[in-house]
Amino acid sequence: MTGKPEGTQQRATAEMVARAAQVSRAAVSRAFNPQAPLKPEKRARILKIAEELSYTPDRAARALVTRRSHLVGVIVPDVCSPWESQEVDALTTALQAEGFATLLFKTRIDSSMDETLLTYMRGFNPDSVIVFTENVRPHMLSRFLDRAVPIYVNYLMEREGDGTLPHEPDALCDRIDVNQWEGMEQAVALLAGYGCRRIAYLSGKPESLGQQARRKTLEALMARRGLPAPVIVPGDFSYDRGYAGTLDLFRLEGGADAVFAANDESAFGALDALRYELKLRVPEDVKVIGFDDITQSHWRSYNLTTVKVDLEARVRALVRLIQRRLKAPNAPALAETVHTRLAVRGTVG
DSSP 18-68: HHHHT--HHHHHHHT-TTS---HHHHHHHHHHHHHTT----HHHHHHHHS-
User: Which of 126-140, 160-174, 201-215, 241-255 has the least mean pLDDT?
Assistant: 160-174
Spatial contact of 273 and 316, defined as CB atoms under 8 Å apart:
no
* Per-residue pLDDT tens over the stretch 12-31: 888 888 999 899 888 887 88
For the cut 80, the answer to whether the pLDDT of residue 168 exceeds it is no
pLDDT band at 8 (very low <50, low <70, confident <90, very high): very low
- pLDDT tens, position by position, 81-96: 899 999 999 999 999 9
Given a cut of 80, whether residue 112 has pLDDT beyond it is no
Task: Report the pLDDT value the prediction gives residue 296, as an integer from 0 to 100.
Answer: 97
Least confident among 160-164, 291-295, 324-328: 160-164
Domain boundaries, the chain: 14-57, 71-180+311-339, 181-309
What pLDDT sits at residue 162? Answer: 64
Cβ contacts of 29 within 8 Å, gap of 6 or more: 14, 36, 57, 62
**Do residues 175 and 149 touch, judged by C-beta distance below 8 A?**
no
Range scoring the smallest mean pLDDT among 132-136, 214-218, 278-282? 132-136
pLDDT value for 69: 82
**193-240 pLDDT, tens digit each:** 999 999 999 999 988 888 999 999 999 999 999 999 999 999 999 999
104 pairs with which residues across the strands? 74
> Shortest CA distance to 202 belongs to which of 315, 334, 313, 291?
291
**What confidence score (pLDDT) does residue 110 get?**
75
pLDDT at 178: 94
Q: How far is CA 112 from CA 75, 86, 132, 141, 272, in A?
A: 10, 22, 12, 12, 32
Q: Where are the beta strands (DSSP E) in the chain?
A: 71-76, 101-106, 128-131, 150-155, 174-179, 199-202, 231-233, 258-261, 287-292, 305-309, 335-343
Report how far residue 248's alpha carbon sits from residue 149's, in angstroms, rounded to the nearest whole number. Answer: 44
Q: CA 342, 345, 348, 349: dihedral to nearest 10 degrees?
A: 120
Burial 113-147, CB ≥16 within 10 A → b, else e: beeebbeebbeebbbbbbbbbbbbbbebbbebbee
Confidence class for position 3, pLDDT limits 50, 70, 90: very low
Q: If we measure between CA atoms, which residue out of 158, 161, 160, 153 comes closest to residue 178?
A: 153
Specify the pLDDT at position 35.
65
- Selected residue with higher pLDDT from 43 and 287: 287
Contact 266, 240 (CB under 8 A): no
pLDDT computed for residue 117 by the predictor: 83
**Residue 332 — very low, low, confident or very high, per pLDDT cuts 50/70/90?**
very high
What pLDDT score does 208 carry? 87
What percent of the chain has pLDDT above 90?
A: 61
| Distance between first and last Cα of the chain | 82
CATH H-level superfamily of 181-309 = Response regulator (3.40.50.2300)
Per-residue CA distances from 99 to 26, 29, 72, 95, 327 (Å): 21, 16, 10, 6, 15
Quick one: average pLDDT of 43-50? Answer: 88
User: In this structure, are residues 190 and 251 in contact, taking their beta carbons and an 8 Å threshold?
Assistant: no
Nearest alpha-carbon partner for 92 in 145, 84, 153: 84
Average pLDDT of the chain to the nearest whole number: 89
Average pLDDT of the residues in 62-71 = 64
Residue 200, SS3?
strand
Higher model confidence: residue 5 or residue 78? 78
Provide the 8-state DSSP code for 348: -
* CA-based max dimension of the chain: 89
61 pLDDT more than 60: no
SS3 state at 232: strand
- Cα dihedral 76/81/82/87 (nearest 10): 10
Total number of residues shown for the chain:
349
Judged against a pLDDT cut of 90, whether residue 109 lies above it is answered with no
- How far, in Å, are 123, 206, 215, 330 from residue 103 at the CA level? 12, 28, 32, 24
**The two domains 71-180+311-339 and 181-309 share their CATH topology (first three levels equal):** yes
Would you say domain 14-57 falls under CATH 3.40.47.10? no
Q: Read off the pTM.
A: 0.81
CATH class of 71-180+311-339: alpha beta
Q: pLDDT tens across 138-163, in order? A: 888 888 887 899 999 999 877 656 66
pLDDT for 241 beyond 90: yes
